[in-house]
Structure 1
């Protein structure tokens, strides 16, 4: 570690020693030791409610939880949520999954199943889903289809991110630094400014740099200097968030936000399995830079007005965009220039508008009605090249390839209603209905000189509509114990496989629907020192949209999207929080999922059948356990915390071939440090993957049919400090 880096870290700590107090920031989940475990307030039903009152399988993390996890983004939070998985290090196409239902929006004609929202605005593409944890108040993860209240294609679940709102009390802020191995340097700061009694603003910035953990070697000594980089999977990220809050009148509030994230890195889609030139995990020998540039930005405007009769009208307007360019990608996975992706890029923009009218919370009922509109344009291009003799030894020594250009335009319209009716103090029903109509149009061209794919131009359009109901019967047999039985339907419109395809019939795919059933309970016990939530579920998908790597007759590989006849996902989830004494907190979660194709005939042509196979990226189990102990000293608390997370092995392709099986993964993490009694500063030593267990976490296939794999990040450690004023 460089002396200058250590000096910055020490300076932050010393600044904190001289600070007697700091401004208290708004937080809907303040800890109250007198009442035991804090109860997080959530807005998953568009109203502020205790998480224990919501008849939905939902996990929530507040700012304290996010700090405890050392989470930089949504990916870092996955092990705190049962049956949630995020795979892939590539920011352009991470895969999100809940309850065994996983996917990524890799091409312009496909939408992801897990919806991610920032302050009520849908973020769109997979490339924008792994949102930064910068200045986030809480994250709510709703498992299962959420067709009634959330905007688009939430057939697997929704991730609802709520950012910290500016407040008008006083000028305040925070500074933080995190220094670690692999050259990690992360600096963050935020400031809250009360311009007037009714108007305030907040600006937050974080900058993170880290060296790569995958070593690149050149054992043959022939890689040109302009094609060689020392390491892959480095990090160069800048994230900013600006927010404004205006109390426009006694009954009107206005929130305006802007966010921007920029990533630059040399990334790795995978390393060749059993590579004789690089036998160790996280070691490769590639003659390409594999450069990724990505930008995510957006804005949101929320206006709340409460009428004299206590009805509340809410308008949520969003404008978001994401773009990325991945260039010079090695496809033969060797130090020889046989095959490469020259570039693959995407540019997506969408505008959304939601209007909601919420009734007052009457004694026996309440409801919300609303309308939603979304318009979206996605453009995607790619170009791959291969040395012809590598495909056919008899071919002349020239490069051949394939390129595609696609633009997909989509419009979505919806009307929805959602309400609660309380028969008695013990019995109630929650019900909702959503009508959705969507239109999509594609302009697509593929040009192929390799013989692996096809030549095609297409201009097509499609539309679809759906009615998605939700109903839950809720029972409170004794105080604070909630039991519920819930049915919900989700819908995902069809689209286009706007990738490199080998047949015109491979371009369109059809709509998907899901019917989900679950029962569960939520309850605090022992004077709110023990919280236990549990539920069992079964989801049945019709015409499930399957992404897979398929072997082509020409010898290459294409990513296909087809409709499986039927998919079933079933399992259960447990979440536990326990505070046996004031100084000790314990937590645990466990999720089990059995997700399989009940019927999937001829997925790769006549004579093939994937019926009974496990879904891709669907581990059977996930679990996490952790503990935090605080020892009070004269000026604050000495804190020790440890976590252990594990998930089962899983296949990365629906064919369930042995070569597509990924190892189970276990990881331990810990931190030890001191928090000042005033709350003004803290400093921690931290470590992740303490056992340095490097295992295969995802695999795929290049377009030449070469198997490749990603491996887990090795042991990381460092010191971080924070100062508040």
Structure 2
């Protein structure tokens, strides 16, 4: 028997005469294990619950985000559990197990509140197309970090650190052709509502151990999110400390290629009802299977990560009217971010071999600190403050000549620091709700390198090389933003958003290759970014609507490293139009969501190599293009039985340059690089009362290409990835076997044209082969 505040009392049916029956509370409780939801319920209501249930840990709660009485809230939390609720004469609730004559066929799907909406809206209410992974889904599937989320989301695909870590709706976060200017990104990864820096978002793959959810918001999020949200935003939401004891968890896994993963979570109550902490420690190692035939090293594709997360929750008033959440994350990595391989004579790229005399070394460190304050000012007003600071540093030692000879070694670096502050006032009324907010950020971005030697010219000769290059950019942003949700009449809702954004960019660049070049520049940009949604509820379970949103990315100044030339460039904009459907059928057991979208991309920022410069180093950003993108996302989830959950999502995309000329070549009519036209994910989870469980996910990503200057050479084939788990679990432990890429599919991640470096063809990064292992998790 699990007991939440033990009392001896006589249960009765719900009594309308009980003095507290009409008292209402504001609940914001996510879908989670029922035992945790009941603890949150007692904090809000200060009412006791006695739980007389065998194996309470197997039950899940529904999410609630509303103002309700305690009785109403408890009934909604347990709506899908089949448990019986009674109440004592003193007001204590008693939760007991009803034993049905037959096992229920299935249960209703959980209600999902989207953190990225900033309005407490559910996935079925907002127009934005959201790829969502909840806590139980992350735990049950083979999902370890944010890259696994990208591989399982419609119209999203994973990339590489040097070319943009991911693409959303056919657009890479580094833009059409990434450059060494690392202050701009077209999407952001946010950890507990604090945006990571641009380089950190490419190199660091945040773990999802002890995460409550991961959300991929597709389409422009600029009116609420601001800069670096032209194509979307990714939210990673970690569990916060609670006040209900010393729960914890440990997970250990081992597998092929000397794969080892160990993770520990411990919750601590430091002061009853006022101060709690949560600590997560994690380490991950793997050798990979890339071999360097020159140096003999067999773990070139190594993964070596250590992560520490510490969270503190303080309730100074002893309840959730005023909450402070402080969190700190540190990641230390010695992972090889770019384990390039190429086709050896009479071989292919999938032999996973390289002959460089320098394998590549990319040690990095990342720190993120956030402070979130939530104050329930009144019944209708809530104030939120989110303060964030993060810094990232990576040293880069890599092969510059792409040969087995000691011709050119390059030592580079990227450092960034980002401070942000957001204030939001949220009003919740019967027909009118909304928020108004202020945002400020100050970012410092540094990058550069030193290299000496000779560089192949691609024609059998060499280019002398002796350079020191450094670039510094400061970006300061201020914004006023708001969103208004209005229900003019029953079943209709109008949402209007806007952001007034000001951005100042200052650049200072230094170059020394025998003579010194020192340049500075500054640019300012002002934008008014609107959004509009009109939605109609056909029924309680079906919503349709249309939306318009504008995305923007500020301009700036780009710097050609070897040539020492600075080039200013203007803003770019996306006008995005969508139709959406949100539908739940079969008494809430089947969810069908769809979005159709079209957007125009104007004043498009693209990267070109300047005349006389070296590709990849003397690149300038220019406004040289106009494009269009259209497509759709379809998502389905079905709770087929009480034991079986099935899901599927499909993404279709068509990208096309309308106006784009580079190096004298007209690319009008061509598709974008790193823009697969079709993605699909199918899978399910089966778990029965005997403890047996299995989960499988099949992901398909269509073919594409990597570089606009060599589309035929840099082709990328499709990906067919099957992953799964098979195991046995009891109340507090589970043991299982796991597997990634079970079909052992060979696929490229990013491909370069090797002819610029004297190579015969392409070189680049390839995906990991089939990997099998075993795991064990124990919870307390």
Pair in the same fold by TM > 0.5: yes
> Aligned partners of 1:307 and 1:391: how far apart in 2?
67
2:470 maps to 405
Change over 3 Å in CA distance of 1:67–1:156 after alignment to 2? same
Shift of 1:518: 0.3
Change over 3 Å in CA distance of 1:484–1:385 after alignment to 2? farther
| Residues 1:612 and 2:669 aligned together | yes
Q: 2:200 aligns with which of 127, 134, 140?
A: 127
Between stretches 46-55 and 193-202, larger displacement belongs to 46-55
Q: 1:193 aligns with which of 268, 283, 289?
A: 268
1:370 maps to 437
Change over 3 Å in CA distance of 1:392–1:716 after alignment to 2? closer
Change over 3 Å in CA distance of 1:309–1:574 after alignment to 2? closer
Provide, for residues 210-261 of structure 1, a one-character-per-residue CA deviation record: whole Å limited to 9, x for no partner.
Answer: 113201113xxxx5xxxx6333111110011100111122521111000011
1:704 maps to 757
The alignment partner of 1:425 has SS state of coil
> Aligned partners of 2:615 and 2:433: how far apart in 1?
57
2:291 maps to 215
Shift of 1:444: 0.3
> Aligned partners of 1:394 and 1:257: how far apart in 2?
54
Between stretches 613-622 and 278-287, larger displacement belongs to 278-287
| Residues 1:258 and 2:328 aligned together | yes
Query: Contact conserved, 1:557 with 1:701, CA < 8 A, in 2?
Result: no
| Residues 1:110 and 2:183 aligned together | yes
Query: Contact conserved, 2:342 with 2:349, CA < 8 A, in 1?
Result: no
Query: Contact conserved, 1:96 with 1:114, CA < 8 A, in 2?
Result: no
Shift of 1:667: 1.0
Give runs of aligned pairs for residues 324-335 of structure 1, distance below 5 A.
324-327=394-397, 329-335=398-404
Change over 3 Å in CA distance of 1:273–1:581 after alignment to 2? same
Give runs of aligned pairs for residues 55-454 of structure 1, distance below 5 A.
55-88=127-160, 90=161, 94-104=164-174, 107-108=180-181, 110-128=183-201, 130-196=205-271, 197-218=273-294, 229-249=297-317, 250=319, 251-273=321-343, 280-308=350-378, 310-327=380-397, 329-341=398-410, 343-360=411-428, 362-387=429-454, 400-448=465-513
> Aligned partners of 2:521 and 2:351: how far apart in 1?
44
Change over 3 Å in CA distance of 1:566–1:33 after alignment to 2? farther
Gaps of 5+ in 2: 1-53, 64-76, 83-106
Change over 3 Å in CA distance of 1:353–1:476 after alignment to 2? same
Query: Contact conserved, 1:586 with 1:628, CA < 8 A, in 2?
Result: yes
| Residues 1:688 and 2:740 aligned together | yes
> Aligned partners of 2:128 and 2:650: how far apart in 1?
17
The alignment partner of 2:229 has SS state of coil
Give the aligned length.
677
Query: Contact conserved, 1:385 with 1:402, CA < 8 A, in 2?
Result: yes
Between stretches 351-360 and 705-714, larger displacement belongs to 705-714
Provide, for residues 411-456 of structure 1, a one-character-per-residue CA deviation record: whole Å limited to 9, x for no partner.
Answer: 000000101000222111011010000001011022347xxxx974
TM-score by length of 1: 0.88
1:577 maps to 637
Provide, for residues 321-343 of structure 1, a one-character-per-residue CA deviation record: whole Å limited to 9, x for no partner.
Answer: 1110111x1233332223332x1
The alignment partner of 1:424 has SS state of coil
Between stretches 438-447 and 268-277, larger displacement belongs to 268-277
Bigger Rg, which one: 2
> Aligned partners of 1:567 and 1:614: how far apart in 2?
9
Between stretches 108-117 and 233-242, larger displacement belongs to 108-117
Shift of 1:41: 1.9
Provide, for residues 139-194 of structure 1, a one-character-per-residue CA deviation record: whole Å limited to 9, x for no partner.
Answer: 11111001121142200001111110100011111111011010011111011001
TM-score by length of 2: 0.82
Q: 2:722 aligns with which of 668, 674, 681?
A: 668
2:576 maps to 516
Query: Contact conserved, 1:62 with 1:137, CA < 8 A, in 2?
Result: yes
Q: 2:770 aligns with which of 689, 703, 715?
A: 715
Query: Contact conserved, 1:214 with 1:231, CA < 8 A, in 2?
Result: yes
Shift of 1:717: 0.9
Query: Contact conserved, 1:232 with 1:268, CA < 8 A, in 2?
Result: no
C-alpha RMSD of matched pairs (Å): 2.6
> Aligned partners of 1:379 and 1:24: how far apart in 2?
49
The alignment partner of 1:41 has SS state of coil
Shift of 1:616: 1.5
Give runs of aligned pairs for residues 467-506 of structure 1, distance below 5 A.
467-498=528-559, 500=561, 502=563, 504=565
The alignment partner of 1:128 has SS state of helix
> Aligned partners of 2:580 and 2:677: how far apart in 1?
20
Change over 3 Å in CA distance of 1:271–1:504 after alignment to 2? same
Query: Contact conserved, 1:277 with 1:284, CA < 8 A, in 2?
Result: no
Query: Contact conserved, 2:600 with 2:629, CA < 8 A, in 1?
Result: yes
Change over 3 Å in CA distance of 1:432–1:182 after alignment to 2? same
> Aligned partners of 1:455 and 1:546: how far apart in 2?
28
Change over 3 Å in CA distance of 1:165–1:279 after alignment to 2? closer
Between stretches 98-107 and 526-535, larger displacement belongs to 98-107
1:594 maps to 654
> Aligned partners of 2:368 and 2:60: how far apart in 1?
24
> Aligned partners of 1:557 and 1:151: how far apart in 2?
29
Shift of 1:499: 5.4
Shift of 1:628: 2.0
Query: Contact conserved, 1:201 with 1:242, CA < 8 A, in 2?
Result: yes
Q: Which has the higher contact order (CA 8 A, sep 6+)?
A: 1
Provide, for residues 550-578 of structure 1, a one-character-per-residue CA deviation record: whole Å limited to 9, x for no partner.
Answer: 49656765444332331111100100111
Query: Contact conserved, 2:648 with 2:680, CA < 8 A, in 1?
Result: yes
Change over 3 Å in CA distance of 1:724–1:555 after alignment to 2? closer
The alignment partner of 1:380 has SS state of strand
Shift of 1:67: 2.1
Change over 3 Å in CA distance of 1:68–1:682 after alignment to 2? same
> Aligned partners of 2:325 and 2:778: how far apart in 1?
27
Gaps of 5+ in 1: 1-19
